[in-house]
């Protein structure tokens, strides 16, 4: 696979997504009429709410996945209401999804693709395990 051009677009995608989340949180704090010292906190509070919601949804999603055991399409696992709700949490959960990949759960390739809109394999699909490895490299490059 040719990966020479992936890090820069991937880096831009994750930085733009994370920057967008920060802007939304900052705007929300200011729009609520909070004092400037208090508006520094909503980002952390909102992130905590997103993480709490993610942790609440994961066991529900895992149970929901039982409906799709006969399918070999990993995208099917994310078609139910809990899967869609997890994806809807957006870029803020990317670190949590990466954590799942590091534990070896290849199903988390899908929400990463849906959230970031990155074609991690550049149209050259090999396997879900290979895609997981590419997502982990993508994350490391994005943090650099």
pLDDT digits (tens, 9 = 90+) for 56-74: 999 999 999 998 888 888 8
Query: Model confidence at 14, in pLDDT bands (50, 70, 90)?
Result: low
Distances (CA, A) of 113 to 34, 43, 74, 86, 135: 35, 24, 12, 13, 9
Q: What is the pLDDT of residues 85-137, one digit of tens each?
A: 999 999 999 999 999 999 999 999 999 999 999 999 998 988 999 999 999 99
Six token digits for residue 117:
């809109």
C-alpha to C-alpha distance for 86 and 3, rounded to whole angstroms: 28
Position 34 scores a pLDDT of 38
- Is the pTM higher than 0.85? The answer reads no
As a 3-state breakdown, the chain gives helix, strand, coil percent values, each rounded to 5, of: 75, 0, 25
Q: What percent of the chain has pLDDT above 90? A: 56
CB atoms within 10 A of CB 101: 19
């Amino acid at each position: 696979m040719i990966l020479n051009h992936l890090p820069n677009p991937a880096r831009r995608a994750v930085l733009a997504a994370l920057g967008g989340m920060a802007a939304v949180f900052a705007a929300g704090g200011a729009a609520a009429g909070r004092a400037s010292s208090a508006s520094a906190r909503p980002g952390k509070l909102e992130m905590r709410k997103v993480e709490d919601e993610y942790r609440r949804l994961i066991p529900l999603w895992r149970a929901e996945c039982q409906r799709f055991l006969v399918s070999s399409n990993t995208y099917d696992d994310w078609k139910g209401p809990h899967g869609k709700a997890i994806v809807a949490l957006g870029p803020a959960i990317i670190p949590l999804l990466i954590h799942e990949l590091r534990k070896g759960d290849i199903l988390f390739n899908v929400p990463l693709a849906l959230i970031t809109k990155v074609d991690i394999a550049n149209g050259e699909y090999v396997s879900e395990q290979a895609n997981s490895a590419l997502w982990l490299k993508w994350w490391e490059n994005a943090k650099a």
